[in-house]
Amino acid sequence: RRADWLRATATVAGAHVASMVVKRVVRRPRPALPGLEPTVRTAGRHSFPSSHSVSSAAAAVAFHGLLPTAVTGTAAAATCFSRLVVGVHYPSDVAAGATMGLAAGGLGRAWARRARPEGV
């Protein structure tokens, strides 16, 4: 069981690193609407994809079976939505991030299944 937790954590970390690489390649600036300042500070100037969305979606999938799906799914959805509400991402940043995270989480689940001994 510990190995499952470690693989899920590594999956989320890997997804986050991948999102940072894509962000540096794409270099899309964050939304800048006159009179509407973001309500939170950000660590960087680039917005595509939303790393919060990548990480939360990857966690929702990677931790499936280790944590209640209602908790991980709700947390991921809330995180994705919050990126729009606070004004630091375009909808396409969040959608691409969630898609990337779901894919990474799926790869992590496949890794966990292959690593699990037969009959466990």
Can you give the residue ranges of every domain in the chain?
Answer: 2-28+46-115
Q: How confident is the model at residue 6 (pLDDT cuts 50, 70, 90)?
A: very high
Helix (H, G, I), strand (E, B) or coil at 1: coil
Bond into 68 cis (ω within 30): no
Q: How confident is the model at residue 119 (pLDDT cuts 50, 70, 90)?
A: low
Q: Please give the model's pTM, rounded to 2 decimal places.
A: 0.88
b/e code 69-102 from CB counts within 10 Å (16+ = b): eeebbeebeebbebbbeebbbbeebbebbbebbb
Q: What is the pLDDT of residues 9-54, one digit of tens each?
A: 999 999 999 999 999 999 999 988 787 777 788 888 899 999 999 9
Q: What is the pLDDT of residues 68-92, one digit of tens each?
A: 989 999 999 999 999 998 889 999 9
